[in-house]
Amino acid sequence: MPELIDPFQRRITYLRVSVTDRCDFRCVYCMAEHMTFLPKAELLTLEELDRLCVAFIAQGVRKLRLTGGEPLVRRNIMWLIESLGRHVADGSLDELTLTTNGSQLARYAPQLVGAGVRRINVSVDTLDPDRFRAITRWGDLDKVKAGIAAAKSAGLRIKINAVALKGVNEDEFDRMISWCGDEGMDLTLIETMPMGDIDGDRTDQYLPLSVVRARLRERWTLDDIDYQTGGPARYVRIKETGGRLGFITPLTHNFCESCNRVRLTCTGTLYMCLGQDDAADLRTPLRASESDDILIDAIHEAIGRKPKGHDFVIDRRHNRPAVTRHMSVTGG
């Protein structure tokens, strides 16, 4: 069985695919309010995205996560999800999942389950409707909650992702832990990452999770556990709710040594590291030939350049993003 092994002997088994750079929200830490999106002509078609993903599966990728922008706003996205779901059914893929803002879940949840999706991540930074509107600019919390309810009743397991924002939602983590506990959902807190130009100042928003964790310990019993989802989160079990709580700390903790992932954009660009600019163009080899030989060579060549780690730093002197592309390009 072919494998993708990088220069540091890490096996690449996890591909995250940003299926669109567009979104129906404009979260303040993720996008500027007036974004210029890619012209449609530059996007890979869904058939091309499918072919690329299948090439990765043939090289040993076992887990696929669709993200964006908002994956569920791409037209006909269920075609791609159903097509990729067949690889879950035949055992060549362990998991097909997605990260979503939840706005379209009420409509798609049953179809997702039908396609073989078993769990999803939904991003919810606050349970206060006015704050939700302020953070997402365009989002409606009630609609997202209805989507989460639909996903639950369709049988999807749900993990909530919340970006920890200083002075914005830091007083809400207790409430979110209780809510997730009641609803049987895991929760992951994420530190803000300096990616892409946004309208505000990131150094104002940065809240180290080490501080959050210390505060949470005053109220909750957090037991370290060995739970791994193939991602960079470190998990604890909250004794009082029985739920899991994850921390993703790209700035305060280096999670690179066990990195097993690469990221593909909707134009066919492969980023070998979220925190580095080096990338490989897979669209040209994809379109160069109907057979996959050239494409597979290009994938192996790219993995051979995967860097050891990122150099994220929130630059207080220049207040410049460490990486110029927005998170919505590579999907987090």
Contact with ligand SAM (CB under 6 A): which of 97, 192, 249, 265?
192
Residue 70 is a binding residue for ligand SAM (CB under 6 A): yes
- What is the secondary structure of 125-173 as a DSSP string? --S-HHHHHHHHSS--HHHHHHHHHHHHHHT-EEEEEEE-BTTTTTT-H
Select from ligand SF4, ligand SAM, none the partner in contact with residue 108, using the beta carbon and a kind-dependent cut-off of 5 to 8 Å.
Answer: none
Cα distances (Å, whole numbers) of residue 235 to 56, 89, 126, 206: 28, 29, 21, 21
* Contacting residue, 13, 59, 100, 126, with ligand SAM by CB under 6 A: 100
**CB 112 → ligand SF4: shortest distance, Å?**
17
Task: Tell me which of ligand SAM, ligand SF4, none is bound by residue 247, counting a contact when its beta carbon lies within the kind-specific cut-off of 5 to 8 angstroms.
Answer: none
* Min separation Cβ 2 and ligand SAM, Å: 29
**Cβ–Cβ under 8 Å, residues 163 and 190:** yes
Q: How far apart are alpha carbons 77 and 239 in whole angstroms?
A: 39
Per partner kind, with CB cut-offs from 5 to 8 A, the member of ligand SF4, ligand SAM, none near residue 193 is: ligand SAM
Residue 122's DSSP bridge partners are: 100, 160
CB 139 within 8 A of CB 130: no
The residue (of 31 and 273) whose beta carbon lies closer to ligand SF4 is: 31
Task: Give the shortest CB-122-to-ligand SAM separation in angstroms.
Answer: 7
* Residues at the interface with ligand SF4 (CB under 6 A): 23, 25-27, 30-31, 68-70, 101, 123, 136, 328
Which of 13, 20, 59, 123 touches ligand SAM (CB under 6 A)?
123
**Helical axes 46-58 vs 293-303, angle rounded to 10°:** 70
Tracing tokens 């180290």 back to the chain, one arrives at: 208
190 counts as binding ligand SAM under rule CB under 6 A:
yes
Cα diameter, the chain: 60
Q: Which residues of 88-103 are buried (b: 16+ CB within 10 A; e: fewer)?
A: beeeebebbbbbbbbb
**12 versus 189: smaller Cβ distance to ligand SAM:** 189
CA distance 253 to 235: 14
Q: Is the dihedral of CA 188, 191, 197, 199 positive or negative?
A: positive
Residues 17-56 that bind ligand SAM (CB under 6 A): 23, 29-30
Using the minimum distance from each CB to ligand SF4, give the nearer residue, 59 or 121. Answer: 121
327 binds ligand SAM (CB under 6 A): yes
Interacting residues toward ligand SAM by CB under 6 A: 23, 29-30, 67-68, 70, 99-101, 123, 161, 163, 190, 192-193, 195, 327-328, 331-332
